[in-house]
Every structure is written in C-alpha cells, then in structure tokens.
Amino acid sequence: MNTYKHSVFLDVKKCNGCTTCLKHCPTEAIRIKDGHAVINEERCIDCGECIRLCPNSAKKAKCSALSSMDKFKWKIALPAPTLYGQFDNLDDVDYVLDGLLKLGFDDVFEVSAAAELVSAYTRKYLKTSGITKPAISSACPVVTRLIALRFPSLLDHVIHMLPPMEVAAHLAREKAKQEHPEFSDSDIGVCFISPCPAKASYVNNGFADYKSKVDVVVSISDIYFHLISVMKYGSDVKPLSNSGIIGISWASSGGEATAIFNENYLAADGIENVMRVLDQMENGNIPPLDFIELNACTGGCVGGVLTIQNPFVAKARLRSLRRYLPVSEHFNAEEDEYLPSEFLFDDLPTYRPISRLSASMAESMRMMADIQKLKETLPGIDCGSCGAPNCRALAEDIVKGKSSIEKCLIRLRGVKDEG
Amino acid sequence: MPDVLNFHFEVDGDDFKSAGHASFICKKNLRQLGISPEIIRRVSIAMYEGEINMVIHARGGSADVNVYEDCIEIILADKGPGIKNIKQAMQEGYSTATDNIRSLGFGAGMGLPNMKRYTDYMDIKSTVGEGTTITMKVNFE
C-alpha cells in the first residue's frame, strides 16, 4: 500500500485534461481520466516536472504558509542557497538573512553552511576504504527516491549522509537549545525555505526510518514577496552570513561535486539526464569515477519549480555574489577522526517493485505476452488521446483492467473507415 | 502460463546513438515481470555488451530474450565478419575496435569477458565471413 505523502497535487478545477504532463512525466505516473489528470502516487517521485510544464497551472505543490510558524516560541529559518540567487543586485547575503529576521524569525541558519560541512565529510568518506564507488550523493530527494524505486541495484552506491537541509536543522536546534535552555524541543520551530516540492515530501515522510528535524517547509516563491518588501540594500545589517564559495555553489549543478576536490566526478542535472546516467551505470558502462552528483532539476536546485528566477540567471547572480567570499567557512571537519553519527542515516527507502505486473511470475508472464500482442494492434503514434502516455502504456493498462481498447480514438477511426 | 516469453529486438547497426536501446527496453520488461534486481542487472550488462559489439563490429543484428521458468536466455545473432580466434577474443583487454570507437570509450576489450562473467552459460558460434551467434543464460537460482 502507498503511504507516501506527496507534495505534488492536482487542482482539478484548473485541469482541462490536456496531455502535457502525461507526455512528460518521467515515471509515467500520470493518466488522464474523466477529463483530468490523475497522479499514481506509487510512481510519483515529486520531481515537479508536471508543475513546471502545466499550461493551466493546475499542478501544484503543497507547502506551508509562513504563518504556520506562528505556533512556535523560537522560530528558526533555514534558507537554501538558491534563495540568494533570486534577487536583483544583491551584493551581500546578509541583506537576505536580515530580511528573514524582520519577517519574524528569531534566528537564521544557512543551509549553505551545513553544505560545507557535508562537503568536508564527503571528502573524508571518499577516502574510506571499502566503500562502493562511484559514490552517489544523497542530497537530491528525487534522486534517492528514484534509485530506490527504479535502480535498486545501485542502492549500495548512495552515500548515507544526510542532506545539508537536515544537518542544518540538527545544528540549528542544538544551537537554540544551548543558547535558550528555557525553550523545550516543541517550542523550537525550524522552517526550511525550499526551491522544490521534493524537499517538502522528504520532510513530511521522513526517509526510511529517519524522521526529519524540519517542522515547516515554505516555498522560495512564497517567501520572496514577503522578503522584497522588508529587505533594504545599503542599510546597516548584522553580519550573520557564515558560508563561503563552496556552500553557495551547492545551489547549482556541479557545485557539490567540485567541492570534493577531486576531478574524478560526474555531475548531471535534469531528470531525463539523471535517468540516463543511472541506466548507464546499471549497464556497467561508465568510467571508474569516485563521485556522482545528480540533480533532478535542470541547472541544479536553482532550477527548482518553487523558485522565481530563471535558473541560469540565478546561477550567474550566485557567481558574482560568492566572488569575494572565502572558499569555505567550514573545513576543519576533515580533521575529525570519524564521521559523526548525526550526519548519517541508517536505511535507504526499500525497493518496491512498483512496475511489476502481478505478484506471481507466471501471471506476469501471461500478462506480458498479452501486452505484446495487444500493442501490435495499436497505431503506435503515442498520441496520448486515450489518457495513457503511449500505446505501450495503454496496452498495459488494458491488460491490468484499468482501461479499454475503445479508448484508442485512432484505432476507432480506422475501424469506422474500413466499415 | 506460457512456457516461454520472447522479446525480439532488431539492433540497428547504422545508428550508433541507438546502441543500448534494446537492453534498455528489455530491462523495463523484466522489471515488470518482477524478476529480482540482481538478475536484471546481470542480464542488462551481458545484453548491453553484446548489443554494443553487434553495432561496432557487425553493423547490427538481432537480439532475442527468452524468459523461461528457471532462467533467462539471450541470443544475439549477426551477419558480421565473424570472430577469427574466439579464445583470443575472450581475453580481457583484447579488442579489434578502431581508434574511432575507442575514443568514444568503447573497445576496451571487456565486452566478451563481461558477458561471460555476468552469465551462467555462454556459447559462441562464429564463422568468418558469415556471422556470429552468441547464446547466454542467466539462471534464477
């Protein structure tokens, strides 16, 4: 049974049943039924492609409003570095951090600072003997879910390191508890400011047995408008920023990989490209690499669907923003003798054979034979009018009893012409 | 239950970009049958290597994947130049691929050895000037 709480959902009123999302969903999780899209929750990986492409803005992401933080006595903001790339002419991160305090947060903890620690520990991890290489980063939640669902033979490659958001949440909480012993754990609220719906799903669902330390996820697109009304360039702001080039570079593709200080890496972005890399890895057809960085969104996190700015513009802005920063504000971690357990997670999501036709192999083989036969009778133009993304998918749906051959309009027309 | 389920693929030798497509589709099919990830991985690697070989050396051919109750059989047949010395071809690092192919990252001489490594049975029948047929099996147990 599917118990995963997704953050991508459909506004039925706005959906007119066009086939845009249907044709572009990388896991074929969408069908059009009764004139609107239906998302198969077992297959959805929260990549947000459908949100990005929907011409009617019918696909949305469930995130919280800023007011969800009101119930906490001590409110901490965790801005993703992508946030900094959204603003025109920003020359100092402190204006953004100060803006967050003006919005009512009591403290800010930059995710980019935690990212520098994760980078330091990743460098250390890569030097550990006995690890499976190439090691795959676990930072993008879409990628880890995709691997668990579709590429189970690659699970051993995934680094069991918590993503920067989680590390930031942990450290921010510890700091708050130390500085304010008067607050209990439940008084402290941690709010992640997210570029993508997948992070919201990660927080809602946890990760295998791990429970997220983030309480609320607010989208960058939402907080942006609150921020621009309170941010003031040139004003006297507290120097809060505490991350360097490495931390800020995590926002775009290749940033995490270059921080391993080793040229033996690959960085791919965009869900289709990510799938191609994983597929090639599964075929044993990639050069011997140490590290693989995969980002579901084009350009990396700056390409997340909950951002405002074009990812390439955001990336260019981040490049000028980080220019005179130190390489990293957090590099001493490498001198530690072990990887601290609060940076690690135990279990990856377990493999579920979601694409399996039937629980019995014999039945699956019979169904597969039927699908092959049926597919031959379909026109093969993959038009999507039947509500399935392609003819093969319709054949599968029919054999599974979820659709019927009459749904194929092209075939129906052919039958009429002949008659 | 059908005794055997067959997936047939024509491997196009003229289009290098499409090399690997048959093993991709095959992998998807096997996943739908509920076959274990480890078996799928072995079949995918063996078939991928064979498919690449057919494109590089034989201008394509055909691939048949037969799913039996207890094993998966892969038959790759081409009408290429044939293999002169099978024993030599089986050696790791031995390759007759051109520099052009090597520059793309193929032709490392690991194709046939990998096919043997990842399967439980492998048989090569080849006649110079006529073609090559390779039969491989991966057992479920």
Reduce the DSSP state of residue B96 to 3 states and report it: coil
From CA B132, how far away is CA B51, in angstroms rounded?
A: 12
| CA of A156 vs chain B CAs: smallest distance (Å) | 12
Task: Determine which helix (DSSP H) or strand (DSSP E) holds B28, and give its type and residue range.
Answer: helix B21-32
- DSSP-assigned letter for residue A210: B
pLDDT at A336 over 70: no
> How high is the pLDDT of residue A415?
67
- A285, A286, A357, A360: which to substitute to probe chain B, counting the most B Cβ within 10 Å? A285
From CA B91, how far away is CA A366, in angstroms rounded?
A: 40
CATH superfamily, region B5-139: Histidine kinase-like ATPase, C-terminal domain (3.30.565.10)
A369 chain-B contacts, CB cut-off 8 A: 2, 5
Cβ pair B55, B23 in contact under 8 A: no
**Percent of chain A predicted with pLDDT > 90:** 70
Cβ pair B28, B43 in contact under 8 A: no
pLDDT at A6 over 90: no
Q: Is A204 on the interface with B (CB under 8 A)?
A: no
Cβ pair A233, A95 in contact under 8 A: yes
Reduce the DSSP state of residue A144 to 3 states and report it: helix
Q: Do B34 and A358 touch (CB under 8 A)?
A: yes
Min mean pLDDT across A223-232, A234-243, B64-73 is at: A234-243
Cis peptide before B2 (omega within 30 of 0): no
User: Would you kindly state where each structural domain of chain B is located, as residue ranges?
Assistant: 5-139
Task: Compare CB distances from A365 to B33, B37, B41 and report the shortest one's residue.
Answer: B33
pTM of the model: 0.84
- DSSP-assigned letter for residue B116: H
Tokens 């949100």 belong to which residue?
A: A51
Reduce the DSSP state of residue A10 to 3 states and report it: strand
Give residue-wise pLDDT tens across range B84-124.
888 888 888 788 877 777 766 677 777 898 899 999 999 99
Phi and psi angles of residue A102, each rounded to the nearest 5 degrees, phi first: -65, -25
Task: Compare CB distances from B44 to A282, A356, A363 and report the shortest one's residue.
Answer: A282
CATH class, domain A1-62, is: alpha beta
Q: Which of A274, A262, A253 is nearest to A195 (CA)?
A: A253
From CA A110, how far away is CA A299, in angstroms rounded?
A: 21
Strands A36-39 and A30-33, by their bridges, are: antiparallel
> How high is the pLDDT of residue A327?
84
Q: Is A349 on the interface with B (CB under 8 A)?
A: no
> How high is the pLDDT of residue A1?
44
Q: What average pLDDT score do residues A159-168 get?
A: 93
Write out the two tokens for A157: 């490659």
Angle in degrees, CA A64, A70, A75, rounded to 5: 90
Q: Do A368 and B5 touch (CB under 8 A)?
A: yes
Q: Under CATH, which architecture does the A357-419 domain have?
A: Orthogonal Bundle (1.10)
User: Would you kindly state where each structural domain of chain A is located, as residue ranges?
Assistant: 1-62, 66-343, 357-419
Other C-beta atoms closer than 10 Å to the C-beta of A331 total: 16
Q: Rounded to whole angstroms, what are the CA distances from B82 to A311, B87, B127, B128? A: 51, 13, 5, 4
| CA of A368 vs chain B CAs: smallest distance (Å) | 8
- For CA atoms B110, B115, B121, B127, the dihedral sign is negative
Average pLDDT of chain A, as a whole number: 91
Residues 6 or more apart in contact with residue A399 via CB below 8 angstroms: A357, A367, A370, A371, A374
Q: Which of A296, A313, A293, A312 is nearest to A304 (CA)?
A: A296
Cβ pair B8, B64 in contact under 8 A: yes
Q: Which of A23, A246, A255 is nearest to A140 (CA)?
A: A255
